[in-house]
Amino acid sequence: MSNPFDAGFPDDLPADAAAPIADFRDTPEGFRSGFVSFVGRPNTGKSTLTNALVGQKIAITADQPETTRHPIRGIVHRDDCQIVVVDTPGLHRPRTLLGERLNEVVKDTYADVDVIGLTIPADEKIGPGDRWILENVRKVAPKTPIIGIVTKLDKASKDQVGAQLLALHALLSEDNPDAVVIPVSATEKIQIDELVGVLAEALPEGPKFYPDDHVTDDATEKRISELIREAALAGLKDELPHSVAVEVDEMLPSQTREGVLDIHAIMYLERPGQKRIIEGKDGMRFRRTVGNARKEIIKLLGQNVYLDLRIKVLKNWQSDPKSLGRLGF
């Protein structure tokens, strides 16, 4: 399939890894399954795309780059396939020890998956950073099929999307003249089913890895800590977002309120000045963070919760091996 439009182009674009394996008898003949990971510069829509494919929020999103901190597996269920999407941190040139460790995790993930999707936004030209990422992916996974995905259709004109499809196809064709590219919009749910079909076609025949009602294997505590971090990142800019880490300390049924779950969590920052930013004037920003996080946690758990969130300064934790180990990196 050498034509970059063969994977499907919408007729009317907007203007502007271990799990229990099910018995082969549980799957129909020709059923396909496997692991897929998206690669791209930070903020190219990988986590949003993962959520759209899975059908619910399993990965947090934010306006800042490098939001994702650990691989998250989301399961896409269809009658003819089961796709395990492994959402990873963006591959980037590291500036801290944390960045170096995240890059190693990402490279290990790419070496193990069955298909890799290279994400390029429709409204941003392909640049040296994209080529650097592709070169690194090919080094760690030289035989893994790479599918080109033009994201964020809702932010570009049809002409821009067409030009980007051609440019991405040209880039991937340097090693594979039959490269497949496909345009999608995760936020507007455009071409999501078509993308599932393209990914499934590249996967081997195999069994289901997860039960039909399974959407992720991420621990509940980890999902809660990520929701808190997402609420804290809202509206932040510059370097501060990279300095925020959250850890759930304890989850217990309330002793005084029936049906309420008490969640105690700690937000770690690197410097005292960052604490003042997180708190905001008269603590208003911090209270808003707690309130927004609590709403998302209630949606996740389906029950009322009380969120006790404390702030601690862990000096330069992104570059301290002991602190990184303590926080699970």
Chain segment 204-245, per-residue pLDDT in tens: 999 999 988 889 888 899 899 999 998 998 877 665 667 899
Pairing of strands 72-78, 81-87: antiparallel
| CATH class of residue range 32-202 | alpha beta
pLDDT at 242: 74
pLDDT at 92: 65
- Fold of the domain built from segment(s) 220-327: GMP Synthetase; Chain A, domain 3 (3.30.300)
The answer to whether the annotation marks 55 as part of a ligand binding site is: no
Q: Rounded to whole angstroms, how far apart are CA atoms 27 and 147?
A: 26
The answer to whether the annotation marks 197 as part of a ligand binding site is: no
pLDDT at 238: 60
Total Cβ atoms within 10 A of residue 12: 7
The answer to whether the annotation marks 327 as part of a ligand binding site is: no
191 and 184 Cβ atoms separated by less than 8 Å: yes
pLDDT at 69: 66
What residues are paired with 300 via a beta bridge?
none
pLDDT at 314: 93
pLDDT at 18 over 60: no
pLDDT at 17: 43
Residue found under tokens 């399993």 = 58
The two tokens of residue 87 are 């959402």
Q: Rounded to whole angstroms, how far apart are CA atoms 222 and 247?
A: 8
pLDDT digits (tens, 9 = 90+) for 35-91: 999 988 878 888 899 999 999 888 877 665 556 667 788 999 999 999 999 887 766
pLDDT at 240: 64
The answer to whether the annotation marks 208 as part of a ligand binding site is: no
The answer to whether the annotation marks 154 as part of a ligand binding site is: yes
- Per residue in 169-206, is it b (16+ CB within 10 Å) or e — as a string? bebbeeeeeebbbbbbbbbbebbbebbbbbbbebbeeb
Residue type, 278: I
Q: Rounded to whole angstroms, how far apart are CA atoms 218 and 154?
A: 30
Instruction: Give the H or E element holding residue 308.
Output: strand 304-313
The answer to whether the annotation marks 45 as part of a ligand binding site is: yes
pLDDT at 95: 76
The answer to whether the annotation marks 43 as part of a ligand binding site is: yes
The answer to whether the annotation marks 44 as part of a ligand binding site is: yes
The answer to whether the annotation marks 114 as part of a ligand binding site is: no
The answer to whether the annotation marks 183 as part of a ligand binding site is: no
pLDDT at 328: 81
The answer to whether the annotation marks 139 as part of a ligand binding site is: no
The answer to whether the annotation marks 74 as part of a ligand binding site is: no
The answer to whether the annotation marks 151 as part of a ligand binding site is: yes
The answer to whether the annotation marks 109 as part of a ligand binding site is: no
Q: What is the DSSP letter of 125?
A: -
pLDDT at 170: 95
Contacts for 131 with CB less than 8 Å, ≥ 6 apart: 171
Top pLDDT among 106 and 86 is at: 86
pLDDT at 29: 83
Question: Do the domains at 32-202 and 220-327 have one common CATH topology?
Answer: no
The answer to whether the annotation marks 41 as part of a ligand binding site is: yes
Total Cβ atoms within 10 A of residue 240: 18
Q: Which of 267, 325, 275 is nearest to 97 (CA)?
A: 325
pLDDT digits (tens, 9 = 90+) for 138-185: 998 999 999 999 999 999 999 999 999 999 999 999 888 899 999 999
Confidence of residue 110 (pLDDT cuts 50, 70, 90): confident
Does this model's pTM top 0.75? My answer is yes
pLDDT at 65: 56
pLDDT at 4 over 60: no
Query: In terms of residues, how long is the chain?
Result: 329
Q: Rounded to whole angstroms, how far apart are CA atoms 162 and 175?
A: 21
Pairing of strands 146-151, 115-121: parallel
270 and 312 Cβ atoms separated by less than 8 Å: no
Domain ranges across the chain: 32-202, 220-327
The answer to whether the annotation marks 159 as part of a ligand binding site is: no
pLDDT at 26: 63
pLDDT at 263: 97
Q: Rounded to whole angstroms, how far apart are CA atoms 132 and 41?
A: 10
pLDDT at 62: 65
Q: Which of 147, 178, 179, 150 is nearest to 163 (CA)?
A: 150
pLDDT at 53: 95
pLDDT at 327: 84
The two tokens of residue 316 are 């330069």
pLDDT digits (tens, 9 = 90+) for 270-329: 999 899 989 999 999 999 999 999 999 999 999 999 999 999 999 988 888 898 888 887
pLDDT at 207: 92
pLDDT at 45: 87
Top pLDDT among 247 and 69 is at: 247
The answer to whether the annotation marks 275 as part of a ligand binding site is: no
